[in-house]
Amino acid sequence: MTEPFDAVDVIAAKRDRHRLSPEQIDWVVDAYTRGVVAPEQMSALAMAILLNGMDRSEISRWTAAMIASGERMDFSSLSRPTSDKHSTGGVGDKITLPLAPLVAACGIAVPQLSGRGLGHTGGTLDKLEAIPGWRADLSNAEILAQLEDVGAVICAAGSGLAPADKKLYALRDVTGTVEAIPLIASSIMSKKIAEGTGSLVLDVKAGSGAFMKELAQATELAETMVALGKDAGVHTVALLTDMSTPLGLTAGNAVEVAESVEVLAGGGPQDVVDLTVALAREMVAAAGRSDVDPAEALADGRAMDVWRRMIAAQGGDPDAALPAPKETHVIMAPSDGVLGRLDALAVGVAAWRLGAGRSRPGEQVQAAAGVVLHAKPGDTVRAGQPLIELHTDTPERFARAEAALEGAFDIGADAPDLPASVVLGRVD
């Protein structure tokens, strides 16, 4: 077959800061997926996009082309509206675990297709696989049946959703083009739109432990993704949230599951509770159920009931003991004072080095590995008291985890100036 365009011409157009036509975008995404456009050509185009950007219509068309590369799920047969949430990733970000059953307890179906961790950001599926028997891989028929029966599902996305994105993401990861906002936004939104949810709430994080370090960057990404949702007819809202300090008191796998269950039981760290409820309220409102208050469903145990049914439906035992680490090591506070700073990135890297994360796709993770915090910024500490507890099955990892935490916290005489809320802003 004769191709309608030449890859070199498309690359040159974006290199010279021209808009790509809808036809050029449709072709280059499809041709790359088919193998007609070579990886080195697509990497050159990705770099040109990183340097010269795309306007809203280009990003929207690029996203549509990636959606068209695969299948689309359809939840229209369900007896309740659907809403989903996506987080741009952080440290201690276990919010999906209590959030999905909480929103389902409010009468909304939550098709949460999630991923695995890479580097310092944890993966939702890795965390849930710490529960004995739980499985991440479900067929489309199983997803639909569980959404109708239980109201919530957290599982792996099928390979049929936006295969162009999977291929392009792997290329961006090794060519220094991950940071291109048009490509980040289209990557996230192509999968979420193809998933078929009726509404979407985005948790876009800013701070040291986030992909976007600065609030201005996070805001630009949030605005781009909300616009893409609108263009695709999916009601989309974004919350901008703080990721300068880890969420909650845990970062890892089993330790984050345990903390999530505490939240569902009516306890847990306040920042995790606050963000879970804030996102749940956005999801419930986006699905047209503003008359329901998620805080009540959390307090009266309905969310916990859905959690137990959701875990059991995917083969897990909600009553089983979670894996415990073979080895622990405690870092003590070196002096009296107030904890002023606890760097999220350093904690995430420590958890990763302990075995909670992976450095390459497909690598095994340790269910029991992670970090437990005994204090958060603003807390008064005493010299010699436990500050950070390290968990692993392989104690030779402790040295590198400790190295990651050098300089990660400050203890001083004065209380730090902390954000009033974990939610920094909203984009709709």
pLDDT band, residue 179 (cuts 50/70/90): confident
Residue 105 has pLDDT above 80, yes or no: yes
Per cent of the chain over pLDDT 90 is: 89
**Rounded to whole angstroms, how far apart are CA atoms 348 and 357?**
9
- Say what the pLDDT of residue 204 is: 97
Q: Residue ranges of the domains in the chain?
A: 84-159+195-313, 327-412
- From 14, 80, 85, 86, active-site residue: 86
The yes-or-no answer on residue 291 being catalytic is no
What is the average pLDDT across 82-89?
A: 95
Confirm whether 187 is a catalytic residue.
yes
Known catalytic residue at 86: yes
- pLDDT at site 88: 93
Q: Which of 60, 187, 190, 199 is catalytic?
A: 187
**pLDDT, tens digit, 9 for 90 and up, residues 40-52:** 999 999 999 999 9
Q: Is 132 helix (H, G, I), strand (E, B) or coil?
A: coil
Q: Measured between alpha carbons, how far is 413 from 428 in angstroms, rounded to an integer?
A: 41
Return d(Cα 104, Cα 147) in angstroms, integer.
Answer: 9
- Catalytic: which of 126, 165, 231, 242? 165
12-19 mean pLDDT = 98
The count of other CB atoms within 10 Å of the CB of residue 178 is: 15
Catalytic residue list contains 172: yes
Residue 362 has pLDDT above 80, yes or no: no
pLDDT in tens, 325-355: 999 999 999 999 999 999 999 999 999 999 9
Catalytic one of 172, 205, 308, 391: 172
Q: What is the third-level CATH fold of 84-159+195-313?
A: Pyrimidine Nucleoside Phosphorylase; Chain A, domain 2 (3.40.1030)
H or E stretch including 251?
A: strand 250-252
Question: Of the CATH numbers 3.90.1170.30, 3.40.1000.10, 3.40.50.920, 1.20.1530.20, which one belongs to the domain with range 327-412?
Answer: 3.90.1170.30
Distances (CA, A) of 229 to 19, 226, 283, 316: 21, 5, 14, 34
Question: For residue 53, with 0-12 CB atoms within 10 Å meaning exposed, 13-18 middle and 19 or more buried, which class applies?
Answer: middle
Does pTM surpass 0.85? Answer: yes
426 is catalytic: no
Instruction: Tell me how far apart the alpha carbons of residues 196 and 75 are, in angstroms, rounded to a whole number.
Output: 6
Q: What is d(CA 314, CA 35) in angstroms, rounded to the nearest whole number? A: 36
Which residue in 191, 302, 353, 397 is the catalytic one?
Answer: 191
Residues whose CB is less than 8 angstroms from the CB of residue 2 and which lie 6 or more positions away in sequence, other chains included: none
**84-159+195-313 shares its CATH topology with 327-412:** no
